[in-house]
Amino acid sequence: MSEFSLIYQHFQHCTRKNPLTQVGIGDDCAISSIPSDCELVSCIDTLVAGRHFPLSTSAYAIGYKSVAVNLSDLAAMGATPYAILLGISLPAKLAHDDWLKPFTQGIADICNRFDVELIGGDTTQSNTLTISVTALGFVPAGQAITRGGAKVGDIICVSGEIGSASFALQQILNAEKSERHNIALQPIALQSIALQPALDLPVPQVELGQKLRGFAHSMIDISDGLGQDLGHILTASKVGAVVDLANIPTHPRLQALTNTDKWQHQLNGGDDYQLCFTMSEQNFVKFNQQFSDKIFAIGKIVTENGLRLAYNNQPIEFSITGYQHF
């Protein structure tokens, strides 16, 4: 299949048109209108097979997640997603309909769910499947939520369960290892099937991110582990934090683990794509009065730099490493 037939058959018409797009796929550049009184928000994520997702991951999940992780970044700024640009380096063995159809269907489903249009990109052949997505969105001028606004006394919140994706990934890797060595799986490994959607099909918290404009002082999405990503807020805001691990929302499957294993998934695992944000106690009360979205208070911002951990109000020590891309 040639490059241009691949583009026309699988990418040119896979998402709905957005009225802001003046020129989309098929020209040298895309041309877009920018809404008045808005600022452009942009981000990029690159996913490499075997590094950012297991080689056994379905084509549908790869397409879906390559977009979802970028929309999660936009959500962390309080932005409304608009469009994506897709760069894909594709092994020749995958350049056929059986792989490309579910891959583009995954892209289409997540894009259409959030009214996002694929407006351009690039395709090339490579020995390693590599996908790079640039996402564009808009936020009302002056209302973007950054990492640098946390204030002493703020409540630290997360938007949902933490650690499920990391747990699922560990069980998938254990299963692949067991299959290679013909080892019977432990019962806990079989439980990972229920949590695999948390890894393969994360739901970016786009609507919540927009609702948090005017309430949250700082925000980040949790992609590399809660400990590391909260640390980015603390560094940017020049503050510290105390987090009680007993308050972190946890899937029941993880409760079967030892605390040490559970905390490893939650603090260092990553791939959650929930939001971590800070807001004043007053705004916390107001938000819960105004919206039905569940948000979970897990700690407080303090003056002394660094992250301190507790469990049921008792101080504990735990090494924060986070996901390492190199």
Q: What is the pLDDT of residue 12?
A: 72
Q: What is the band of 191 on the pLDDT scale with cuts at 50, 70, 90?
A: very low
Q: What is the pLDDT of residue 322?
A: 67
The CATH code belonging to domain 3-140 is 3.30.1330.10
Same topology, domains 3-140 and 147-316? Answer is no
Q: What is the pLDDT of residue 77?
A: 98
**Is residue 311's pLDDT more than 70?**
yes
pLDDT digits (tens, 9 = 90+) for 95-150: 888 999 999 999 999 999 999 999 999 888 999 999 999 999 999 999 999 999 99
Which range has the worst mean pLDDT, 131-140, 161-170, 176-185, 203-212?
A: 176-185
Which range has the worst mean pLDDT, 37-41, 55-59, 232-236, 244-248?
A: 55-59
Which range has the worst mean pLDDT, 6-20, 182-196, 261-275, 312-326?
A: 182-196
Residues 53-60 have a mean pLDDT of 90
Q: What is the pLDDT of residue 242?
A: 98
Q: What is the pLDDT of residue 173?
A: 81
Per cent of the chain over pLDDT 70 is 90
Listed in sequence order, the residues at least 6 apart from 268 whose beta carbon sits closer than 8 Å to its beta carbon are: 166, 225, 227, 228, 319, 320, 321, 322, 323
**Is residue 81's pLDDT more than 70?**
yes
Tell me which DSSP letter residue 152 carries. T
> DSSP states of 182-194 as a string?
T-PPPHHHHGGGG
**Is residue 190's pLDDT more than 50?**
no
Q: What is the pLDDT of residue 180?
A: 58
Contact 134, 180 (CB under 8 A): no
Q: What is the pLDDT of residue 185?
A: 46
Q: What is the band of 178 on the pLDDT scale with cuts at 50, 70, 90?
A: low
Listed in sequence order, the residues at least 6 apart from 219 whose beta carbon sits closer than 8 Å to its beta carbon are: 76, 77, 78, 145, 146, 147, 209, 212, 233, 275, 276, 277, 278
Is residue 161 exposed (0-12), middle (13-18) or buried (19+ Cβ within 10 Å)? buried
Which range has the worst mean pLDDT, 56-60, 146-150, 208-212?
A: 56-60
Altogether, the residues listed in the chain come to a count of: 326
Q: What is the pLDDT of residue 193?
A: 57
Q: What is the band of 195 on the pLDDT scale with cuts at 50, 70, 90?
A: confident
Helix ranges, the chain (H): 3-6, 59-76, 97-113, 164-181, 187-190, 196-200, 206-211, 226-237, 259-263, 281-290
The CATH code belonging to domain 147-316 is 3.90.650.10
Judged by DSSP in three states, 318 sits in coil
Q: What is the pLDDT of residue 321?
A: 87
Contact 134, 99 (CB under 8 A): no
Between the CA of residue 200 and those of 62, 271, 273, what are the distances in Å? 7, 9, 11
Q: How is the chain split into domains, by residue range?
A: 3-140, 147-316
Distance CA 302, CA 304 (A): 6
